[in-house]
Amino acid sequence: MSTEIRMRALAVAMLFAGAALPAAAQTEPGDPRAGLRLSATWCANCHQVAPGGPGPSTDAAPTFRSIAQMASTTSMSLRAYLQTPHPSMPDYRLTREELDDVVAYLLTLKR
């Protein structure tokens, strides 16, 4: 096995090991309240952003709670998704602080 392949495998293993740490050991940047406000402004046209809150007129987009409940939802996966343009979503250009806030809010919806 080449050194480059070993280094890549080690990097991937470290990422997975970091994702498995208990939530208490991790500090997540961002303000969940600001993330809720941003989400209510930008995302509520398509998503139900708060449990029990108003939602869009169709169910074409998943609720934020259902997104948070997905096993694949992590801080890293949310950041990657929100920074990648998708044809079914508007291409919001979130600042780093806005991204931190929205991710922090979404993670509060995980059980």
CA angle 49, 27, 68 (to 5 degrees): 25
List, for residues 13-51, the tens digit of each pLDDT value: 444 444 443 444 357 799 999 999 999 999 998 999 999
Instruction: Please tell me the predicted confidence (pLDDT) of residue 14.
Output: 44
Distance, CA of 109 to CA of 49 (rounded, Å):
10
pTM of the predicted structure, to 2 decimals: 0.72
Number of domains in the chain: 1
Note whether residue 16 is domain-resident. no
The answer to whether residue 24 sits within a structural domain is no
Query: Is 20 within the bounds of a domain?
Result: no
pLDDT at residue 107 is higher than 90: yes
3 domain-assigned: no
**83 pLDDT band (50/70/90 cuts)?**
very high
Q: Does 7 reside within a domain?
A: no
Does residue 89 lie within any of the structural domains?
yes
Q: From the centroid of its chain, how far is CA 86? A: 14
| Domain of residue 75, residue span | 29-108
The verdict on residue 8 lying in a domain is no
Give the residue-averaged pLDDT of 79-83: 94
| CATH code assigned at 40 | 1.10.760.10
Confidence of residue 53 (pLDDT cuts 50, 70, 90): confident
